[in-house]
């Protein structure tokens, strides 16, 4: 196993990191299954892995219990990473409570690397580091010896991530990095190196794109063996000396063994010398490699971000942050894949339905791969129109259902992160609601909790609270939920679906 210094912390961490988010669901139902998961963690330790990435939410909320079992009899010294996000822990006190709870569940005294998790942009970042916010809680935990080093993970533009690095508040950063997006992410590695902070990479297999499409990637990764393709993809990340840890979600002892072999000293290649731009192999000439040369648009279209996101047009079955949407038909799923990457990785939703491209051709003239950029922009905007996917449409819809009729009491159903995103977007565009807002969910364990400042209530309270309109926020199950709530229309309550028939995910 190869080990690297984690920035200025002085810690030597294994280049292969164990990501605990992908334990098999069938192993989470009983004691025997949990023990099997713990065996995988212990085996990883035997193979030399010493960086274990955890979160209370992983493995259906059972991951910390799995690691407790593993740590009780783990063969070698280890480092633990954990995390908290502002949607769950909004204040310094919330973070302190979460850290203490995680320590208690895992049976350890210290978390070595604690992450401000999944920062989505500079506005989000400012809230995290604000007075009394989550970062302040992490600082206090560090002062108390509960954690050692504060890091952050980000799903936003390279420029935004670099701004956060340069502020000097963190000792490490977790970024999405793989053969699909490395061109646009190299500047982050350079900035992290200048600040001497550790870099951890997630999404090393491109959301499953690489193993799912071996013919596309075998040549570029210099792999003739389909079974070694994953190893080569992981080695690609490890070839960058700035990267301290390459995370991999491993679900079996065999996967741990295969991945560990990929990180033996003899197997680390010099992938940086692969001629990605000038001599790209014929099988890969359809992919944008993120060199950024095309960023010359006089209409200010963010072409590199559009083209990097368009890569996923070729891979409709790719998963996203661990989830695959199989219930969309293929063309809709393909469009959703592209827009998810555009939104989450770069914070971009098209402004209007109109394609701003004037077809001047400057971008295509400078593209080293001779990609049909204009045609691809046209195709992206054909999806924008088909699915009514633009900020203008979203804002107009929210004005209609939340503001125009001057309804005084509105409910959102169900609770969850998506509903929270709707509330945040509304406040960002329109300010504090002038109406009373309630959240409803059939899960009784959530009743009495809050999203933002709004209570989560039983659906049985909709009539008693005098709610005039219920907006269904769940795209997949909106028809089922509507059928359950339709009886309320007899009492004059309007039931509205947040998504239309052809809509994609907005958040």
CATH for 396-497, options being 3.30.1050.10, 3.40.605.10, 3.20.20.140, 3.40.50.720: 3.40.50.720
Of 108 and 210, more confident: 108
Nearest partner of 436 among 402, 485, 399, 404, judged by Cα? 402
Cβ atoms < 10 Å from Cβ of 266: 6
Of 352, 207, 208, 219, nearest in space to 285 by CA: 219
Helix, strand, coil content of the chain in percent (nearest 5): 45, 15, 40
Per the CB < 8 A criterion, the answer to whether 210 and 217 are in contact is yes
DSSP classification of residue 146: S
Whole-prediction pTM: 0.64
Give the phi and the psi of residue 36 in degrees, each rounded to 5: -65, -40
Q: Show the tokens assigned to 52.
A: 């274990």
**Mean pLDDT value across residues 293-308:** 90
- Would you say 205 and 235 are in contact if contact means Cβ atoms under 8 Å apart? no
Looking at per-residue pLDDT, the higher value among 265 and 172 belongs to 172
The pLDDT of 167-176, averaged and rounded, is 94
Question: Which has the higher per-residue pLDDT, 211 or 296?
Answer: 296
| pLDDT exceeds cutoff 50 at 466 | yes
Q: Per-residue confidence at 50, pLDDT binned at 50, 70, 90?
A: very high
Q: Which residue has the higher pLDDT, 292 or 192?
A: 192
Residue 440: its H or E element:
strand 436-440
Write out 160-216 in H/E/C secondary structure.
HHHHHHHCCCCCEEEEECCCCCHHHHHHHHHHHHHHCCEEEEECCCCCCHHHHCHHH
Task: Give the closest residue to 294 by CA, choosing from 369, 401, 400, 197.
Answer: 369
C-beta of residue 446 within 8 angstroms of C-beta of residue 415: yes
Tell me the pLDDT tens digit for each residue of 327-349: 688 788 889 889 988 988 788 99
Q: What is the pLDDT of residue 461?
A: 95
- How sure is the predictor about 279, in pLDDT bands with cuts at 50, 70 and 90? very low
- The whole-number pLDDT of residue 274 equals 43
Domains 3-273 and 396-497 share a fold: no
pLDDT, mean over the chain: 87
- CATH architecture for the domain at 3-273: Alpha-Beta Barrel (3.20)
Task: State both tokens at 370.
Answer: 């001779």
| Structure confidence at residue 127 (pLDDT) | 93
- Beta-bridged to residue 18, according to DSSP, are 52, 248
As a whole number of angstroms, the distance between CA 387 and CA 381 comes to 10
At residue 88, does pLDDT exceed 80?
Answer: yes
441 CB neighbour count, 10 Å cutoff: 20
Residue 52's pLDDT band (boundaries 50, 70, 90)? very high
Q: Which residues contact 31 (CB under 8 A, 6 or more apart)?
A: none
Q: Tell me, what's the pLDDT at 86?
A: 87
* Domain-wise residue ranges, the chain: 3-273, 282-386, 396-497
């Amino acid at each position: 196993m190869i080990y690297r210094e984690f920035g200025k912390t002085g810690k030597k961490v294994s280049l292969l990191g164990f990501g605990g988010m992908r334990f098999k669901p069938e192993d989470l139902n009983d004691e025997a299954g949990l023990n099997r998961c713990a065996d995988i963690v212990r085996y990883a330790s035997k193979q030399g892995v010493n960086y274990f990435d955890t979160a209370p939410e992983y493995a259906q909320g059972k991951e910390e219990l799995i690691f407790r079992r593993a740590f009780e009899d783990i063969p070698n010294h280890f480092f633990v990473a954990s995390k908290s996000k502002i949607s769950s822990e909004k204040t310094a006190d919330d973070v302190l409570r979460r850290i203490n709870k995680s320590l208690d569940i895992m049976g350890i005294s210290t978390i070595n690397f604690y992450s401000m998790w999944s920062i989505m942009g500079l506005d989000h970042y400012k809230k995290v580091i604000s007075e009394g916010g989550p970062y302040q809680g992490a600082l206090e935990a560090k002062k108390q010896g509960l954690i050692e080093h504060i890091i952050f993970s980000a799903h936003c533009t390279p420029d935004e991530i670099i701004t956060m690095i340069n502020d000097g508040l963190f000792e490490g950063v977790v970024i999405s990095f793989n053969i699909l997006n490395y061109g646009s992410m190299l500047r982050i590695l350079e900035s992290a190196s200048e600040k001497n902070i550790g870099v951890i990479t997630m999404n090393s297999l491109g959301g499953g794109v690489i193993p799912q499409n071996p013919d596309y990637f075998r040549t570029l990764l210099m792999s003739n063996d389909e079974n070694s393709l994953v190893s080569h993809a992981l080695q690609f990340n490890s070839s960058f000396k700035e990267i301290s840890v390459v995370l991999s979600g491993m679900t079996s002892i065999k996967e741990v063994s295969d991945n560990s072999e990929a990180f033996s000293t003899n197997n680390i290649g010099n992938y940086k010398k692969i001629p990605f731009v000038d001599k790209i192999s014929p099988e890969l000439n359809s992919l944008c490699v993120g060199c950024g040369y095309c960023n010359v648009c006089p209409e200010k279209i963010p072409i590199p971000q559009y083209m990097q996101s368009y890569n996923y047009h070729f891979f409709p079955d790719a998963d996203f942050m661990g989830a695959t949407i199989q219930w969309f038909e293929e063309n809709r799923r393909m469009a959703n894949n592209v827009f998810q990457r555009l939104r989450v990785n770069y914070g971009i939703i098209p402004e209007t339905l109109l394609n701003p491209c004037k077809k001047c051709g400057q971008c295509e003239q400078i593209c080293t791969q001779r990609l049909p950029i204009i045609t691809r922009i046209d195709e992206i905007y054909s999806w924008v129109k088909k699915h009514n996917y633009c900020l203008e449409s979203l804002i107009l819809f929210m004005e209609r259902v939340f503001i125009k009729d001057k309804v005084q009491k509105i409910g959102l159903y169900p609770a969850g992160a998506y509903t929270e995103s709707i509330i945040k977007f509304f406040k960002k565009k329109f300010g504090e609601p002038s109406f009373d807002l309630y959240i409803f969910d059939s899960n009784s364990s959530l009743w009495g909790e809050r999203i933002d400042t709004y209570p989560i209530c039983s659906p049985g309270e909709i009539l008693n609270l005098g709610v005039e309109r219920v907006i269904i926020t769940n795209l997949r199950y909106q028809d089922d939920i509507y059928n359950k709530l339709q009886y309320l229309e007899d009492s004059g309550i309007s039931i509205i679906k947040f998504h239309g028939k052809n809509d994609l995910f907005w958040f």
